């Protein structure tokens, strides 16, 4: 059986006069777009433009709900209750679903952003709230969650189709979590190192943690961060490496 992977990228993160990311240049290389919904980044016009561009390139549309923290780009932990998390996700997913419909498209998936993603990957109550919000809005949506995390298992128990996610440009801790961005070596900036990690995650189902141990992962979808310097080169290099390895690049299919 041919190995395959979905390539996703966080997009639509500009707002007002502030420009973020390299969306137009990356879209030709990815198969799924996680589009900011206005809480951590994005605004109504950016949401519409990003949805339209993704549709033009045949890229699957995903809602990327985050914490209400524009100044911190949604990457700062907040003390929120499960009810808070539920409401935030319902509102953001619903908003992007409406934007998608206005452009003749339909949502394909949901992936939480930044601190909300990482908090829910470890906190069962938040994981339950986020996944339940997605299920209640549209149970047909595919839920992108950190591979082997409590978020992935809880979303699957709720009844969502789960795509387990791995990262091209982030290093891992021994517990399978991502290395916090404030720590050294959290980001992988060398495409060659990234490619080695990516190919091993897909072909062997393992990734080396910074502590040296191997972590078992299931790679259904691979994230490339569009706001990282050199993101386009990363995307190009990874696509070429996957082709050379005989690994197909395709969207996650609904079950």
Residue 2 has pLDDT above 80, yes or no: no
Write down the pLDDT at residue 67: 98
DSSP for 201-244 reads HHHHSEEEBTTS-EEE---SEEEEETTSTTHHHHHHHHHHHHHH
CA pair distance 94, 237, nearest whole angstrom: 35
CA pair distance 20, 85, nearest whole angstrom: 25
Classify 219 in phi/psi space as left (phi over 0), alpha (psi -120 to 50) or beta.
beta
pTM above 0.85, yes or no: yes
Residue 129 has pLDDT above 80, yes or no: yes
Name 255's Cβ contacts closer than 8 Å, sequence gap at least 6. 161
Please name the residue that has the structure tokens 């040296």: 212
Rg (the chain; Cα; Å): 17
Phi/psi at 198 (5° precision): -60, -50
Return the number of other C-beta atoms located less than 10 Å from residue 181's C-beta: 11
Q: Which two tokens stand for residue 8?
A: 């996703």
Taking the alpha carbons at both ends of the chain, their separation in whole angstroms is 18
Task: Write out pLDDT tens, residues 12-57.
Answer: 999 988 898 889 999 999 999 999 999 999 999 999 999 999 999 9
Q: Give the residue-averaged pLDDT of 200-205.
A: 96
Please name the residue that has the structure tokens 């387990």: 164
Q: Give the residue-averaged pLDDT of 95-112.
A: 98
For the chain, which domains are there?
Answer: 4-249 (3.20.20.370)
Q: Quick one: DSSP state of residue 38? A: S
Percent with pLDDT over 90 in the chain? 84
List, as own/partner pairs, every contact residues 180-188 make where C-beta atoms lie below 8 angstroms and the sequence separation is at least 24, other chains included. Answer: 181/75, 185/210, 187/228
């Amino acid at each position: 059986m041919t190995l395959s992977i979905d390539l996703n990228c966080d997009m639509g993160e500009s707002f007002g006069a502030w420009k973020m990311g390299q969306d137009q240049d990356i879209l030709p290389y990815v198969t799924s777009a996680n589009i900011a919904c206005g809480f951590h980044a994005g605004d109504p016009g950016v949401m519409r433009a990003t949805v339209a561009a993704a549709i033009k390139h045949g890229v699957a549309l995903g809602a990327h709900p985050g914490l209400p923290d524009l100044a911190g780009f949604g990457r700062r932990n907040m003390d929120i209750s499960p009810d808070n998390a539920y409401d935030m996700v319902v509102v953001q997913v619903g908003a992007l679903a409406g934007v998608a419909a206005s452009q003749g498209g339909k949502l394909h998936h949901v992936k939480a952003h930044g601190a909300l993603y990482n908090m829910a990957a470890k906190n069962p109550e938040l994981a339950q709230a986020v996944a339940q919000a997605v299920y209640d809005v549209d149970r047909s949506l595919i839920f992108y969650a950190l591979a082997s995390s409590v978020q992935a298992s809880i979303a699957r128990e709720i009844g969502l189709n789960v795509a387990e996610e791995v990262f091209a440009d982030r290093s891992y801790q021994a517990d399978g979590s991502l290395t916090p961005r404030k720590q050294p070596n959290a980001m992988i900036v060398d495409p060659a190192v990234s490619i080695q990690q990516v190919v091993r995650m897909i072909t062997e189902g393992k990734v080396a943690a910074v502590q040296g141990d191997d972590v078992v992962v299931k790679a259904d979808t691979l994230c490339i961060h569009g706001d990282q310097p050199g993101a386009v080169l990363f995307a190009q290099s990874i696509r070429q490496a996957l082709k050379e390895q005989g690994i197909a690049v395709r969207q996650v299919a609904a079950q």
